[in-house]
């Protein structure tokens, strides 16, 4: 049971950003992808999720043995993959509660704009509160006027509502204070122990103080330069990305 | 945590009104016709229609006057997209082979089937005070609940009213919307057939809505139904109009008309859920006169058709009269045009109008708001506000806002607001990562976009509109 990225080469607007990137995430495992700004971390997240502007030139993406490389994004999500965005876009006109209800409707009975399950609503409310979200955020338009921290939390709430098999968390720890990072860390641990395979993309690796990854990849200039166990985090942090790039 | 549109009776209503007309009727099928009159418009043709309908002589003469007007009047300059119509090719009158019925069982199987697929019998039984259903040119069934009969409300087909209540009809017919107004109004009066006549007596308030449902069954056919609604003093009525057509190989033409009289302190809500298939060129003439302190609310849900021109209008004739005019126009598809708008004519002092237009264009569709607010000199302290919001769902689609204000009264206050929103690739990708398809994302965004206008509407309207829009984008959206 693996999310497997195999020798993926990705082009954006005619420019190759990722070159033969391979990594895998098992069920119930937290893997970390580290790298400096511009190394291609978000590109990888978008390509794996299937953004139409991110063109896979070669290689493949497999989800539990199914090749999803050419599937549209919503199909990948249906198969159990999702993404918590680093900078999620605003969706005016769509309330967060409404989006959550539609997500739940799709999972339980199929698309329905008016379906509301009171048990789900109660679950979402309590999760939101556990994530430290003000309840009024649920009745606001998705990400409109949300602070950086509120966006991160709202992303996690959506991810949990989706009940995915695998999730890519793109910089879940940026823009959060220490309490925020702790709550996010607890939530990720909860996801992992429930069997979700989590790929955490992080620059500063703050989050690894709360979630111990079972493996670590370091992305430099579009290729996986290093791979190893959790000890790799400290090595990278103590030496800095620049020194690694020179090596 | 709420849902997009809060409906207390949502479940019940959804069972009743789960119709998507274009979709439910599917492809056109053959059905028997008793009379079909087509050919070049002429006195002879009009005479023939009048004869088939066995109507009184005064109506025959009215039709002939309208024909003369039609021949004299120029093609309106503001009209685009009707050049594809060849009126000589279109049947002016079609009577399906079916006797007028008072119960569903009396109808022939083919029509019973069509109505069942539109959910009409159930809606009639459970939420309506009365229903009349027009197929092509004739009302095939009219059902009235005891409540209406007991209160002496008249709810019958327009044709029957001409014979049964000639004095009432003569007093009001063609007075709100004169035949000389424009060429297609004249054409309408020359060829009108079918429609509803409603008279609500003084002080009668009808709790549940009445509905008129219109189906065009064949290609190259014209439907010219006329609805006349007279609400006497202190009365209340909610009238719902639904329209459907199967997918036809060639175009058909709809040139219907609604005339509303809202007498002193009466309240009339008139809702249209227009969901013609993409084969219909739709021209709808709607006008109301509001007397002293009367209130007229139009809701124009303009979802289907190939091209639609409709501008529900209220003439605020009595002191303190008011109108609210909501239009929701969806232009979804490369050949789809919605030219929709509202007009408010302030004649008397202290009159108020609120116009809200929500237009949505998608898949290369064009949505235009064309409106008029006119405040005549002497309509002191009148207030008008116009709000036009456009939502453009992709690069190929367009939206236009063409408001016009003619204010002759210095004490009047006329304001206008407009917004334009666009749906981008980033939002689609974001929602797709949540398992939501492009069509579903559009349905969600559209629903959110019209949510604030839906909030104030009657439950029946909200439920039908939500469903129709959901289907338009989530299922039909991808094929355009």
User: Would the CB atoms of A113 and B470 count as touching at under 8 Å?
Assistant: yes
pLDDT value of position B79: 62
Buried b (16+ CB within 10 A) or exposed e, A96-129: bbbbbbbbbbbeeeebbbbbbeeebbeebeebbe
Pairing relation of β-strands B252-262 and B280-290? parallel
Domain membership of residue B226 (yes or no) is yes
Query: Which residues of chain B make contact with A113, given a CB cutoff of 8 A?
Result: 4-5, 443-444, 447, 466, 470
The domain spans of chain A are: 2-88+163-246
Task: Name every chain A residue with its beta carbon within 8 A of the beta carbon of B9.
Answer: none
| Residue B81, pLDDT score | 58
Q: Which of B53, B304, B46, B72 is nearest to B185 (CA)?
A: B72
Question: Least CA distance to A156: which residue of chain B?
Answer: B434
Q: Say how many C-beta atoms besides its own lie within 10 A of residue B78's C-beta.
A: 11
CB contact under 8 A, A114 and B437: no
Predicted pLDDT at B462: 78
Enumerate the residues of chain A whose CB falls inside 8 A of the CB of residue B476: none
Does B3 sit within 8 Å of A98, measured CB to CB? yes
* B466–chain A Cβ distance below 8 A for any pair: yes
With respect to residue B422, please indicate whether it lies within any of the assigned structural domains.
no
Q: How many residues are listed for chain A in this entry? A: 247
Beta bridge partners of residue A168, listed in sequence order? A83, A199
Interface of B with A in 394-453 (CB under 8 A): 421, 424-427, 429-438, 440, 443-445, 447-449, 451
**Residue B255 included in any domain:** yes
Give the residues across from B285 on adjacent strands. Answer: B257
The residue with tokens 């084969």 is: B279
State residue B8's pLDDT score: 29
In a domain, B106, yes or no: yes
Considering the domain boundaries, does residue B119 fall inside one?
yes
Query: From first to last of its 480 residues, what are the pLDDT tens digits of chain B?
Result: 433 333 223 333 333 333 334 445 667 778 889 899 988 899 999 999 999 999 999 999 999 999 999 999 988 766 665 666 677 888 889 999 988 888 898 999 888 888 887 788 888 888 888 999 999 999 998 999 998 999 999 999 999 999 999 999 999 999 999 999 999 999 999 999 999 999 999 999 998 999 999 988 888 899 999 999 999 999 999 999 988 888 888 888 999 999 999 999 999 999 998 888 888 889 899 999 999 999 999 999 988 888 899 999 999 999 999 999 999 998 988 888 999 999 999 999 999 999 999 999 988 999 999 999 999 999 999 999 999 999 999 889 999 999 999 999 999 999 999 988 888 899 999 999 999 998 889 888 888 888 778 777 777 677 777 777 777 776 533 332
Q: Which two tokens stand for residue A30?
A: 């937290």
CA angle B411, B412, B415 (to 5 degrees): 140
DSSP-assigned letters across all residues of A190-203: HHHHTT-EEEEEES
- Tens digit of each residue's pLDDT (9 = 90 or more) over A70-118: 999 999 999 999 999 999 999 988 999 999 999 999 999 888 888 899 9
Predicted pLDDT at B4: 32
Q: What is the dihedral of CA A107, A113, A114, A116, to 10 degrees?
A: 30
In a domain, B458, yes or no: no
Please tell me which residue of chain B has the smallest CA distance to A138. B1
Q: Which residues of B touch A50 (CB under 8 A)?
A: 432
Which of A71, A113, A118 to probe the B interface (max B CBs under 10 A)?
A113
The structural domain count of chain B equals: 1
Name the class of domain A2-88+163-246.
alpha beta
CB contact under 8 A, A103 and B7: no
Residue B34 placed within a domain: yes
Calpha distance B327→A233 (Å, rounded):
59
Chain B neighbors of A164, CB-CB under 8 A: none
Taking residue B44's Cβ as centre, other Cβ atoms within 10 Å add up to 10
Closest Cβ opposite residue A77 in set B3, B433, B466: B433
Per-residue pLDDT at B275? 84
Q: Which two tokens stand for residue B151?
A: 């209160």
B228-258: buried (b, 16+ CB within 10 Å) or exposed (e) per residue? Answer: bbbbbbbbbbbbbbbbbbbebeebbbbbbbb
Q: Which residue has the tokens 């009048």?
A: B50
Q: Count of A–B CB contacts within 8 Å?
A: 109
Using the structure block, give the residue that is written with the tokens 């599937």.
A71
Q: Write down the pLDDT at residue B22.
A: 43
Residue A51 backbone dihedrals phi, psi, to 5 degrees: -60, 130
Asked if B12 reaches chain A (Cβ–Cβ under 8 Å), the answer is: no
pLDDT of amino acid B20: 37
Question: From CA B333, how far away is CA A50, in angstroms rounded?
Answer: 26
pLDDT, residue B475, reads 52
Taking residue A204's Cβ as centre, other Cβ atoms within 10 Å add up to 12
| Interchain proximity A98–B443, CB inside 8 Å | no
Which of A 53-72 lie inside 8 A of B, CB atoms?
A: 53, 72
CA A74 vs CA A55, A112, B9, B107, B220: distances in Å: 17, 16, 32, 46, 41
Say which residue, A244 or B350, is predicted with more confidence.
Answer: B350
For chain B positions 85-144, those within 8 Å of chain A (CB to CB) are none
Question: CB of A52 within 8 Å of any CB in chain B?
Answer: yes
- CA torsion sign for B394, B395, B397, B401 is positive
Q: Tell which B residues from 363 to 402 touch A, by Cβ distance under 8 Å.
A: 391
pLDDT tens digit string along A145-204?
999 999 999 999 999 999 999 999 999 998 898 899 999 999 999 999 999 999 999 998
Contact of A39 with chain B, judged by CB distance below 8 Å, is answered with: no
Nearest to residue B364, comparing CAs of B388, B400, B332?
B332
**ipTM over 0.90 threshold:** yes
- Domain contains B305: yes
Three-state DSSP state, A114: coil
pLDDT of the residue at B21: 41
CB-facing half-sphere around the CA of B397: CA atoms within 13 A? 29
**Do A98 and B444 count as a contact with CB atoms less than 8 A apart?**
yes
Cβ-defined contact of A83 to B435 (cutoff 8 Å): no
- Residues of B within 8 A of A163 (CB-CB) are none
**pLDDT at position A28 over 80:** yes
Pinpoint the alpha helices (H) of B253-332.
Answer: none
- Range of B214's domain? 13-310
């Amino acid at each position: 049971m693996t999310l497997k990225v195999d020798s993926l080469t990705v082009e954006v607007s005619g420019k190759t950003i990722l070159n033969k990137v391979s990594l895998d995430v098992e069920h119930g495992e937290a893997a970390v992808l580290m790298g400096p700004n511009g190394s291609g971390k978000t590109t990888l997240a978008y390509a794996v999720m299937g953004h139409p502007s991110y063109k896979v030139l070669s290689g493949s993406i497999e989800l539990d043995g199914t090749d999803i490389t050419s599937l549209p994004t919503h199909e990948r999500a249906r198969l159990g993959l999702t993404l918590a965005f680093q900078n999620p876009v605003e969706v005016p006109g769509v309330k967060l509660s409404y989006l959550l209800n539609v997500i739940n409707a799709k999972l339980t009975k199929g698309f329905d704009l008016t379906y509301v399950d009171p048990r789900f609503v109660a679950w979402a409310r309590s999760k939101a509160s556990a994530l430290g979200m003000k309840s009024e955020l649920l009745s606001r338009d998705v990400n409109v006027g949300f602070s950086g921290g509120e966006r991160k939390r709202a992303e996690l709430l959506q991810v949990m509502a989706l009940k995915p098999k695998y999730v890519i968390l793109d910089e879940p720890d940026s823009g959060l204070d220490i309490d925020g990072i702790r709550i996010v860390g607890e939530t990720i641990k909860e996801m992992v122990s429930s069997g979700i395979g989590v790929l955490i993309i992080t620059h500063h690796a703050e989050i690894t103080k709360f979630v111990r990854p079972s493996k670590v990849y370091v992305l430099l200039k579009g290729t996986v330069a290093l791979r190893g166990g959790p000890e790799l985090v400290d090595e990278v942090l103590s030496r800095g990305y620049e020194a690694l790039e020179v090596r | 945590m709420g849902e997009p549109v809060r409906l207390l009776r949502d479940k019940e209503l959804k069972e009743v009104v789960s119709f998507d007309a274009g979709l439910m009727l599917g492809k056109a099928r053959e059905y028997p016709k008793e009379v079909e009159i087509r050919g070049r418009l002429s006195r002879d043709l009009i005479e023939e229609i009048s004869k088939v309908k066995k109507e009184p002589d005064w109506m025959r003469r009215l039709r002939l006057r309208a024909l003369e007007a039609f021949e004299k009047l120029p093609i309106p300059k503001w009209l685009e997209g009707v050049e594809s119509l060849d009126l000589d090719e279109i049947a002016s009158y079609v009577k399906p082979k079916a006797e007028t019925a008072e119960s569903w069982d009396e109808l022939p199987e083919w029509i019973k089937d069509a109505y069942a697929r539109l959910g009409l019998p159930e809606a009639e039984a459970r939420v309506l005070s009365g229903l009349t259903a027009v197929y092509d040119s004739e009302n095939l069934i009219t059902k009235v609940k005891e409540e209406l009969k007991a209160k002496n409300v008249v709810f019958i087909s327009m044709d029957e009213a001409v014979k049964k209540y000639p004095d009432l009809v003569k007093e009001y017919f063609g007075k709100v919307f004169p035949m000389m107004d424009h060429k297609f109004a004249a054409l309408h009066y020359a060829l009108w057939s079918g429609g509803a006549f409603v008279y609500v007596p003084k002080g009668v308030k009808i709790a549940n809505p009445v509905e008129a449902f219109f189906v065009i069954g064949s290609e190259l056919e014209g439907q010219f139904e006329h609805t006349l609604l007279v609400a006497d003093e202190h009365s209340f009525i909610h009238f719902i109009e639904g329209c459907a057509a199967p997918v036809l190989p060639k175009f058909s033409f709809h040139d219907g008309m609604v005339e509303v009289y809202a007498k002193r302190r009466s309240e009339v809500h008139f809702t249209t859920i227009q969901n013609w298939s993409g084969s219909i060129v739709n021209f709808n003439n709607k006008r109301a006169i509001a007397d002293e302190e009367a209130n007229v609310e139009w809701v124009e849900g303009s979802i289907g058709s190939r091209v639609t021109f409709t501008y529900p209008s209220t003439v605020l004739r009595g002191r303190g009269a008011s109108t609210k005019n909501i239009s929701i126009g969806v232009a979804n598809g490369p050949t789809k045009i919605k030219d929709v708008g509202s007009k408010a004519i302030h004649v008397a002092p202290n009159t108020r109008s609120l116009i809200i237009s929500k237009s949505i264009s998608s898949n290369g569709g064009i949505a235009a708001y064309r409106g008029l607010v006119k405040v005549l000199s002497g309509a002191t302290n009148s207030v008008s506000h116009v709000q036009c919001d456009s939502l453009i769902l992709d690069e190929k689609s367009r939206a236009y806002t063409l408001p016009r204000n003619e204010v002759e009264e210095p004490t009047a206050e006329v304001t206008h607001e407009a917004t334009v929103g666009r749906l981008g690739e980033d939002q689609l990708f974001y929602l797709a990562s949540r398992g939501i398809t492009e069509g579903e994302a559009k349905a969600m965004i559209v629903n959110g976009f019209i949510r604030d206008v839906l909030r104030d509407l009657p439950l029946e309207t909200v439920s039908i509109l939500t469903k129709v829009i959901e289907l338009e984008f989530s299922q039909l959206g991808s094929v355009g």
